[in-house]
Amino acid sequence: SNFEVIVIDDNSCDDTGKVVEQFIERRQQCNFKLLSHRNDGMKPTYKKTAISYAMQYARGEIILTTDADCLVQPKWVASMVSRFDEQTGLVAGLVTFYTRNGNRLFHQLQTLEFAGLVFAGVGAIGNHYPLICNASNLSYRRKAYDDVGGFDGHEEVPSGDDDLFMQNIHHHTNWRVRYNLNPEAVNSTHPVDTLAQFFNQRARWASKSTHYPGVATFTLLFLIYLFYLLLVVLTIAAIASQFSVSVLVIGL
């Protein structure tokens, strides 16, 4: 086969390893690999460490990454790979939330809030100034990864295996960064269920912002501010429009 799937059991507390082993045995999938990455318990290890470990075993020229809690579409791999040309070193993909049981209003608000982050990233890449992307839907050339030394320089940051890595490729190599807006390449993940989980997640994401260039941080915050301002304006406009229509109907 011209592709391989590597599943990294990174200190998981569920049955990930067992499920993957059974899948490989049942389907006889020789292009599937299960790697177990365990820390020594003395210091925290982050997702970057697990990916770096897996890169020692990966044989592909193009690497695609996603998370265990994500749903990918049947043509995800083909769509992401199709965006590469000789000059492209990294392709970012869209991520959205899928609906599930629970606090539906809270989940919908997260979807709206997350959309602001995603499309700020889309716009920045479109303007040739990459700022943010998401490792749950990301692809890059092995050569580009090697050219910047993988995730070197940000080992102490809990996250950063996506946007800091992308920024390094953009600023320190000649590789081109692109976005894939094809609906067939959209990955879905689930929203968190509580405010505590939400703030912990956002705090983890924000931990890497201090490593952004000053102009990049300002630009990102400004784009997100415009997005949320637009939401407020449109909400007010919708209410005003509904009120005007109601008055007109009553008047009739």
> Please, are residues 196 and 150 in contact by the beta-carbon 8 Å criterion?
no
pLDDT of 193-225, one tens digit each? 888 888 787 776 666 666 666 666 666 667 777
Q: Would you state the pLDDT for residue 157?
A: 66
> Please, are residues 45 and 53 in contact by the beta-carbon 8 Å criterion?
no
| Rounded average pLDDT over 122-129 | 88
Amino acid at 103: N
Strands, E, within the chain: which ranges? 5-10, 32-37, 62-65, 88-93, 95-97, 138-141, 176-180, 187-189
Q: Would you state the pLDDT for residue 42?
A: 44
pLDDT of 142-155, one tens digit each? 999 999 999 887 66
| Rounded average pLDDT over 233-251 | 59
Q: Would you state the pLDDT for residue 100?
A: 66
What percent of the chain shows pLDDT beyond 70? 77
pLDDT of 27-59, one tens digit each? 877 788 888 876 655 455 678 888 988 999 999
| Rounded average pLDDT over 104-123 | 82
**Helix (DSSP H) and strand (DSSP E) numbers for the chain:** 8, 8
Q: Would you state the pLDDT for residue 98?
A: 82
Which range, 17-31, 145-159, 166-180, is most confident? 166-180
Q: Would you state the pLDDT for residue 245?
A: 46
118 pLDDT exceeds 60? yes
Q: What are residue 187's DSSP bridge partners? A: 95
SS3 134: coil
| Mode of pairing for the β-strands spanning 187-189 and 138-141 | unpaired
181 pLDDT exceeds 70? yes
Among 177, 159, 157, smallest CA distance to 167 is for 177
CA distances from 9 to 38, 140, 202, 232 (A): 8, 22, 24, 43
Provide the 10 A C-beta neighbour count for residue 36: 13
Q: Which residues contact 26 (CB under 8 A, 6 or more apart)?
A: none
Among 80, 83, 37, 51, smallest CA distance to 150 is for 51
Q: Would you state the pLDDT for residue 68?
A: 86
252 pLDDT exceeds 50? no
Which range, 45-49, 73-77, 238-242, is most confident? 73-77
Provide the 10 A C-beta neighbour count for residue 23: 14
